[in-house]
Structure 1
Amino acid sequence: MGRNRRNRFPQRIDNITITGLADKGFCVGKTPEGEVVFVEKVVPGDVVDVRPFRKKKKVLFCAPLEWHERSADRVEPFCQHFGVCGGCKWQDFSYEGQLREKDRIVRDALTRIGKVEVGEWEPILGSEETSYYRNKLEFGVANRRWLTAEEVGQENVTNEMDVIGFHKAGAYDKLIDIQHCHLQHGPSNELRNGIRALAIKMEIPFFDMRERVGLFRQFMIRTTRTGECMLVLAFFENDQDRIKPFLDAVMEEFGEHITSLYYCINGKINEYMMDLEMNLFAGTSTIKETLGHVSFHIGPKSFFQTNTRQGKNLYDITAEYAGLTGTENVYDLYTGIGSIGQYVAKDAGSVVGIEEIAAAIEDAKINSEMNGLDNCTWYAGRTEDILTPEFAAKHGRPDVLITDPPRAGMHPKVIPMLLQLEAPVIVYVSCNPATQARDLALLDEKYKVVKARAVDMFPQTSHCESVVRLELR
């Protein structure tokens, strides 16, 4: 077996058995000698020969060369862009298999990594919709497209093309030209393709990511179950002589599908839009969505569960784990636009929500008033700064504390405060089982995990939510 002297790993390893899902499109495999490797473009149950291409922290990352066995869980991908676009890594893996693996990942994170003892494991809740489930998508706009392996070297094939699509991993200056995306329902595909054609017709310069010239740069679309649609178009320069006629043409041609049209100017290096000024060009300032008995006005910067239908199921489980009877004082940490707090408010005596993003708290105030909730109080600021003994003295000890932090988990300063508060019940909603396991281990000195459940919010991907109920020992 030949070895790459520079990187000190073999050029080929035979008979790798793929045992489970990992992150970012890789699967875990084992060599006949028991060494762990990560392999792309395979699914659990495959047996393959592989070619290592990177070594990181003593772990080999590999590409498949030949298959000896193909997994019984393999299915035919339904998207023409699968294998090039990285948005849906597991379309070739049965949904039953995905749920089995995600359930295992959550259980392993809590029990094996976090060493957490779980009283009751409830079965993973799969998503009723496994395609067209997202209510928000963001696309790049560029004047170069990514060429597939088959296209490279072909005559009369060029990457110089105006496209709206997703970035190929590792290629910041080129986009995959997305013709049809199976992630978002409603008029998403029609609007994206139609506006691309309109921009080309009107000779609107598409952004050149390498030279940093051009005008049309980004495209975001939000859709709701109520049939409303918001577009946000980002431009590199504030060239109103081109922007205004273009947006007028967008409304004239596609206005029947657009409830709200915003634009922003992004002259920054990065593509993050949430720190930019949003300019309402046409339509309403927000679109309306419902989650069960609660309605929400959603703006261009609002954080909202991207899988609306499964979001309701997630909140139903959260409410069930909270076990409210109508009198409890509830703290809702990392509340976003207050969606969980408002969802449980009808069964609570009072709800106090904390969120770092001030604009989200303004949304929470508007939405709670719209929903007729007079028992909710909202605070803008970092949870670790606001959640203090003085705050608890003002609002009273929580009977139930709900926390739904970002992927990084709760701030290290928050954990000691939770231990000091001694809320009888904590419901921990997480989008990252690894950091949730870390936090649960830190809470273990005073809390026991009574039950836990994985919830699949993102079919065809490796991501999974989990909900845990903790009770004071």
Structure 2
Amino acid sequence: MKLNIKKWGINGEGIGFKDRKPVFVKGAIPEELVDVKIEKRFEHYSNACLIKVLKSSSYRRFSPCPHAQCDGCALMHVNYKGQCQMKASILKQALAKYANYNGKIEPLVKNNSVFGYRNSCKLPVKKRNGEIQTGMFKAGTQKFLPIDRCLVHEKELERVRSELLICLRKYNVPCLEGDGQGLRHIVIKEFEQKIQIILVSTPMHFSQSMIQDILNLENVCSVWQSIKIHDSVDIFGSQMNFLGGQRNMILHIDNLKLELLPRSFFQLNTSQAKNLYRTVREWLGPCESLVEAYSGIGAMSLLCAPKAKQVYGIEWINDAVQNANANAKNNGFDHVYFKQGDAASLFSKIDKVDALIVDPPRSGLDSPMKKAILKKQPDQILYVSCNPSTLAKDIADLKTVYAVERIRPFDMFSQTQHVETIVSLRRIQSKK
């Protein structure tokens, strides 16, 4: 079936229309004429597979990735100009559809490194032909795909990953198969040319000689083991064992020195994260009381601390809270405090809030948090989002009290469909 592709889908697909119903085509690009085969029909839309491109978009390119079948990067076949256009378009569509917002959106902040930008990798391991391999699970499946190189990982990550594999093979480390014992994943993080390695496994012993060999790899400064017994969404298990090197990773942002434990999250693109955090600081007005929900290691709270008399951070992950409080103390901020717990619950207990920073997961703000915001009514909200749809839906739920002041998108994850966005919301009604 021939189909004209009219617009982008939120997951990077092309969308055409058949009998006035959308047809989603993975790998197709707007303004293309394609030959497709319908795979699944639903009441209001269909999914189709791309058979052939009959008329190409000027945005189409030959994918430079030899492992495109992993589906981890939905836009490898789109040039960078097209990727930026897609992300701006998706954000604009979501805001119009869900929040009825058709106002100004500032230009997308482009990524200076469209390849080799990702500072962390979390890779499953399996044995193939008797040899341990790292790879990825094909999107939406448990099918393991061995991958010898990932183009979006920083070069140091890829070098260390290759050398770590040699070390694991040398010591014949078992991989988890069925109900047995063994290694599940390896996690590698890089900050300021220092590497941390976390071996995620069932309860098992790693020899000290192997740990020392890993620490002897160039720039590796830290090795941990995460004990994971049961399958779960969280890649880490409940127990984290320090095996050698230095406990914390170190990261500098402007004049801040930040420490990170293994469970602590930091944005996967260090350079763009700094640009994003500086924008939050720039947009935040002076205030008496500032709260950051989903605060992680406290980077945004600490960057914004000079603008507030009191700063409170709320975070669910305990390691991140430990890091955040230590970071506040080590950077000389005695008016910044972080607590572990549910965002809505703790936020509701704070007496007075003038400004709020939120950086929620892809699912956006949950209902209790939105209710708490509408009750507390801080003067300004700075919303950092990784999902245009949930961002727009949350803005719609808050618009009885808040108006959009500024919107700026960031290309944090080039080659993928994801777009990061900062929105400044200003209270428009008097507090009750």
Which TM-score bucket, shorter chain as reference?
A: over 0.9
Residue in 2 that maps onto 1:176: 145
**Residue 100 of structure 1: SS of its match in structure 2?**
helix
Asked if 1:88 corresponds to 2:73, the answer is yes
Q: Could you say if the C-alpha distance between residues 270 and 441 of structure 1 is closer, same or farther in structure 2, counting changes exceeding 3 Å?
A: closer
Q: Could you say if the C-alpha distance between residues 193 and 181 of structure 1 is closer, same or farther in structure 2, counting changes exceeding 3 Å?
A: same
Mapped contact 2:227–2:237 kept (Cα < 8 A): no
Q: Following the alignment from structure 1 to structure 2, what is the Cα–Cα distance between the partners of residues 249 and 46?
A: 52
Which of 148, 167, 172 is the equivalent residue of 1:203? Answer: 172
Mapped contact 2:385–2:420 kept (Cα < 8 A): yes
Q: Following the alignment from structure 2 to structure 1, what is the Cα–Cα distance between the partners of residues 233 and 350?
A: 39
Residue in 2 that maps onto 1:164: 134
Residue in 2 that maps onto 1:139: 123
**Residue 409 of structure 2: SS of its match in structure 1?**
strand
Asked if 1:229 corresponds to 2:229, the answer is no
Post-superposition shift, 1:116?
3.3
Q: Following the alignment from structure 1 to structure 2, what is the Cα–Cα distance between the partners of residues 108 and 383?
A: 29
**Residue 342 of structure 1: SS of its match in structure 2?**
helix
Q: Following the alignment from structure 1 to structure 2, what is the Cα–Cα distance between the partners of residues 455 and 424?
A: 25
Mapped contact 2:295–2:359 kept (Cα < 8 A): yes
- Which amino acid in structure 2 is aligned with residue 263 of structure 1? Q
User: After the TM superposition, which of the residue ranges 37-46 and 277-286 deviates more from structure 2?
Assistant: 37-46
Post-superposition shift, 1:260?
0.6
Residue in 1 that maps onto 2:403: 448
Mapped contact 1:21–1:462 kept (Cα < 8 A): no
Residues 216-266 of structure 1, C-alpha deviation per residue, up to 9 Å, x if partnerless? 221000001x2111000122331x2x54443233234x1x32111111222
Post-superposition shift, 1:436?
1.4
- Which amino acid in structure 2 is aligned with residue 299 of structure 1? L
Residues 194-227 of structure 1, C-alpha deviation per residue, up to 9 Å, x if partnerless? 222332233222332xx23352221000001x21
Asked if 1:466 corresponds to 2:421, the answer is yes
Q: Following the alignment from structure 1 to structure 2, what is the Cα–Cα distance between the partners of residues 315 and 378?
A: 18
Post-superposition shift, 1:133?
1.0
- Which amino acid in structure 1 is aligned with residue 173 of structure 2? I
Q: Following the alignment from structure 1 to structure 2, what is the Cα–Cα distance between the partners of residues 121 and 187?
A: 36
**Residue 197 of structure 2: SS of its match in structure 1?**
strand
Q: Following the alignment from structure 2 to structure 1, what is the Cα–Cα distance between the partners of residues 399 and 119?
A: 37
Residue in 1 that maps onto 2:255: 293
How is 1:292-311 mapped onto 2 (pairs within 5 angstroms)? 292-311=254-273
Asked if 1:50 corresponds to 2:50, the answer is no
Residue in 2 that maps onto 1:121: 105
Asked if 1:338 corresponds to 2:308, the answer is no
Q: What residue ranges of structure 1 are gaps of 5+ in the alignment?
A: 1-12, 145-158
**Residue 422 of structure 2: SS of its match in structure 1?**
strand
Which of 308, 320, 329 is the equivalent residue of 1:360? Answer: 320
Q: Could you say if the C-alpha distance between residues 171 and 420 of structure 1 is closer, same or farther in structure 2, counting changes exceeding 3 Å?
A: closer
- Which amino acid in structure 1 is aligned with residue 225 of structure 2? Y
Q: Could you say if the C-alpha distance between residues 428 and 215 of structure 1 is closer, same or farther in structure 2, counting changes exceeding 3 Å?
A: same
Give RMSD over aligned pairs: 2.0
Q: Following the alignment from structure 1 to structure 2, what is the Cα–Cα distance between the partners of residues 77 and 314?
A: 29
Q: Following the alignment from structure 1 to structure 2, what is the Cα–Cα distance between the partners of residues 423 and 23?
A: 31
**Residue 363 of structure 2: SS of its match in structure 1?**
coil
Q: Following the alignment from structure 2 to structure 1, what is the Cα–Cα distance between the partners of residues 130 and 237?
A: 31
Residue in 1 that maps onto 2:24: 38
- Which amino acid in structure 1 is aligned with residue 37 of structure 2? R
Residues 148-191 of structure 1, C-alpha deviation per residue, up to 9 Å, x if partnerless? xxxxxxxxxxx77531111123541x422211112222421122
Residue in 2 that maps onto 1:420: 375
Residue in 2 that maps onto 1:351: 311
- Which amino acid in structure 2 is aligned with residue 220 of structure 1? V
State TM-score, norm by structure 2.
0.93
Q: Following the alignment from structure 2 to structure 1, what is the Cα–Cα distance between the partners of residues 251 and 7?
A: 37
Q: Following the alignment from structure 1 to structure 2, what is the Cα–Cα distance between the partners of residues 251 and 308?
A: 24
Residues 69-108 of structure 1, C-alpha deviation per residue, up to 9 Å, x if partnerless? 0111112322222x21222221210111111111111121
How is 1:235-274 mapped onto 2 (pairs within 5 angstroms)? 235-238=201-204, 240=205, 243-252=207-216, 254=217, 256-270=218-232, 272-274=234-236
Q: Could you say if the C-alpha distance between residues 29 and 212 of structure 1 is closer, same or farther in structure 2, counting changes exceeding 3 Å?
A: farther
Q: What residue ranges of structure 2 are gaps of 5+ in the alignment?
A: none
**Residue 343 of structure 1: SS of its match in structure 2?**
helix
Q: Following the alignment from structure 2 to structure 1, what is the Cα–Cα distance between the partners of residues 393 and 303?
A: 27
Which of 100, 104, 107 is the equivalent residue of 2:89? Answer: 104
Which of 27, 30, 41 is the equivalent residue of 2:14? Answer: 27
Q: Could you say if the C-alpha distance between residues 88 and 236 of structure 1 is closer, same or farther in structure 2, counting changes exceeding 3 Å?
A: same
Which of 158, 163, 168 is the equivalent residue of 1:189? Answer: 158
Post-superposition shift, 1:57?
4.6
Question: How many aligned positions are there?
Answer: 428
Mapped contact 1:141–1:216 kept (Cα < 8 A): yes
- Which amino acid in structure 2 is aligned with residue 282 of structure 1? G
Residue in 2 that maps onto 1:215: 182
Q: Following the alignment from structure 1 to structure 2, what is the Cα–Cα distance between the partners of residues 217 and 73?
A: 39
Residues 367-386 of structure 1, C-alpha deviation per residue, up to 9 Å, x if partnerless? 11122222211121101211
Mapped contact 1:427–1:470 kept (Cα < 8 A): yes
- Which amino acid in structure 1 is aligned with residue 167 of structure 2? L
The share of aligned pairs that are identical, in percent, is 27
Mapped contact 2:119–2:153 kept (Cα < 8 A): yes
Residues 10-53 of structure 1, C-alpha deviation per residue, up to 9 Å, x if partnerless? xxx22x1223332445322234x543101112223321010111
- Which amino acid in structure 1 is aligned with residue 186 of structure 2? F
- Which amino acid in structure 1 is aligned with residue 249 of structure 2? I
Mapped contact 1:186–1:223 kept (Cα < 8 A): no
**Residue 305 of structure 1: SS of its match in structure 2?**
coil
Residues 396-420 of structure 1, C-alpha deviation per residue, up to 9 Å, x if partnerless? x222221111111112122232222
